Structure 1
Amino acid sequence: MAERGRPRSFDRETALRQAMEIFWERGYEGASLADLMAAMKINAPSLYAAFGGKEALFREAVDYYRNTEGSATGKALRAGLTARAAIEGMLMAAAIVLALPGKPTGCLVVLGATNCTPSNRPVDMFLHNLRVDSAQDIRKRLLQGVADGELPIETEVEQMAAYFTTVLHGMSLQARDGATQEALQGVVRTAMLIWPASARRQAAA
């Protein structure tokens, strides 16, 4: 049966990508409906009919970001054959994607809803939960490194995971403040110096 009503006169994925870039650049509260409609080239009724409103659009835009521009860090973490390669690869991937020429800088998940008003607390918690999930992925990879004998049994995994999560999130803010890919790569090399010396020697053997 044919869909009732007027057919959409825009490409939904293209509009979603345009919304994602506005949210990425300006954050949830900084992106007005007027900004979004201008970028997406649609009117308010079309936006609400296609996406359900600003918050629903934001959540979908974040999911789209995590599956496109923001996917590189997670892929690198999963692809690393060792715990060290996984963590370093994740951070190096971030150093590239957080400062891509022609794109908003920083990470949408990290910077998209800072200092939200109480009415937008659900948006803040949405991103908070995604960041917690990311930190848990780092923790699990380090625990696997201990189980595989790559890291010493006495490794303080919780502290190490918190450290690398902090580096990852801090790089996002540095990128927003103008840090280049090369500068962020230098941060990664310095951060990896905390890897246990015994594990570094084992990896080099």
Structure 2
Amino acid sequence: MFLFWRKGFEAASMHDLCDAMGVRSPSLYAAFESKEALYLAAIEHYVLTQGPPVWDKLAIGKTAREGIENLLIGAAEILPKSRTAPAGCMAVLGGVSDEWPASIARVIRDVRLDMLGNLHARVEGAIASGELPAATDIDALSRFYLSVFQGMAIQAKDGATPAELRGAAKAAMAAWPGVG
């Protein structure tokens, strides 16, 4: 997962993958059948292990605004490179820098659509609770905050610090309807 995350699908060679996993090529093919299948397993593992520490924060907070702010501030802390993980979001970065087979492109698109769906549900709940006006464009607001998250992932890959990403998150939250 980390090798694909750091290098991308195309740049990660089978030799690199075998070295990273400590196996020989026949063992890798016996377990995963193809580089594509290995990448799909890696992205599934990424979603299960790396997604929750960031995306679970969306549910924290009494209001949708608090939840989205928690998500973005959490992303500011997690997206920059650490000792154990590459910078950015594997599902975002590959979409702007890698050429995938169609099967991988579909899976990654679905991961990003799930992100959008989570934001959409939280904004929809804010309308239902009266936090936001009924006329709020749910899709536009959800896409705006997903775009902020995706931009933060790219900036983290480019070396942005947690403090810089927190600043971007705070600026984005200033755009919340009714804040001013």
Tell me the TM-score normalized by structure 2: 0.92
User: Which residue of 2 is the match for residue 175 of structure 1?
Assistant: 156
Instruction: Please list the CA deviations of residues 33-80 of structure 1 after superposition, one character each: whole Å capped at 9, or x if unmatched.
Output: 111111111011111222232111111111111121232222111233
User: Which residue of 2 is the match for residue 111 of structure 1?
Assistant: 93
Shift in Å, 1:112: 2.4
Question: Secondary structure, in 3 states, of the residue corresponding to 2:10?
Answer: helix
Q: 2:141 aligns with which of 160, 178, 188?
A: 160
Query: Structure 2: how far apart are the matches of 1:61 and 1:79?
Result: 28
Q: What is the Cα-based RMSD across aligned positions, in Å?
A: 1.7
Q: How does 1:67-86 map to 2 (within 5 A)?
A: 67-86=48-67
Q: Greater relative contact order: 1 or 2 (C-alpha under 8 angstroms, separation 6 or more)?
A: 2
Tell me the TM-score normalized by structure 1: 0.81
Question: Secondary structure, in 3 states, of the residue corresponding to 2:133?
Answer: coil
Whether the 8 Å CA contact 1:113–1:123 is kept in 2: the answer is no
Unaligned ranges ≥5, structure 2: none
Q: Within the alignment, does 1:45 sit opposite 2:64 as a pair?
A: no
Instruction: Please list the CA deviations of residues 74-115 of structure 1 after superposition, one character each: whole Å capped at 9, or x if unmatched.
Output: 211123332011111111111111104222111001112445
**Higher Cα Rg: structure 1 or 2?**
1
Instruction: Give the number of aligned pairs.
Output: 179
Instruction: Please list the CA deviations of residues 117-138 of structure 1 after superposition, one character each: whole Å capped at 9, or x if unmatched.
Output: 4x71221222112101211110
Query: Structure 1: how far apart are the matches of 2:7 and 2:148?
Result: 22
User: Which residue of 2 is the match for residue 58 of structure 1?
Assistant: 39
Percent identity of paired positions between Structure 1 and Structure 2: 37
Query: Structure 2: how far apart are the matches of 1:52 and 1:151?
Result: 49
Query: Structure 2: how far apart are the matches of 1:68 and 1:80?
Result: 22
Q: 1:133 aligns with which of 109, 114, 133?
A: 114
Query: Structure 2: how far apart are the matches of 1:191 and 1:116?
Result: 28
Unaligned ranges ≥5, structure 1: 1-19
User: Which residue of 2 is the match for residue 187 of structure 1?
Assistant: 168
Instruction: Please list the CA deviations of residues 121-180 of structure 1 after superposition, one character each: whole Å capped at 9, or x if unmatched.
Output: 221222112101211110111000100111122212111111001001011110111101
